[in-house]
Amino acid sequence: MPITEQQLLQILPNAGRQAGVFVPALNTAMNRYQIVGLKRVAAFIAQIGHESGQLKYVKEIWGPTKVQARYEGRADLGNTQPGDGSKFRGRGLIQITGRANYNACGEALGLDLLSKPELLELPQHAAMSAAWFWSMKDLNTLADKGDFVKITRRINGGLNGQADRQGLYDKALKVLA
d(CA 27, CA 75): 34
The residue from 51, 60, 72, 118 that is catalytic is 51
Long-range Cβ contact pairs of 106-111 (< 8 A, separation 24 or more): 108/132, 108/136
Q: Is 51 a catalytic residue?
A: yes
Which parts of the chain fold into alpha helices (H)?
A: 5-11, 18-32, 38-51, 66-69, 84-87, 99-109, 123-136, 139-145, 148-156, 162-176
* Torsional sign, CA 152, 24, 99, 61: negative
What's the distance, Cα to Cα, between the start and end of the chain in Å? 11
d(CA 52, CA 35): 18
d(CA 156, CA 162): 10
Residues recognised as catalytic:
51
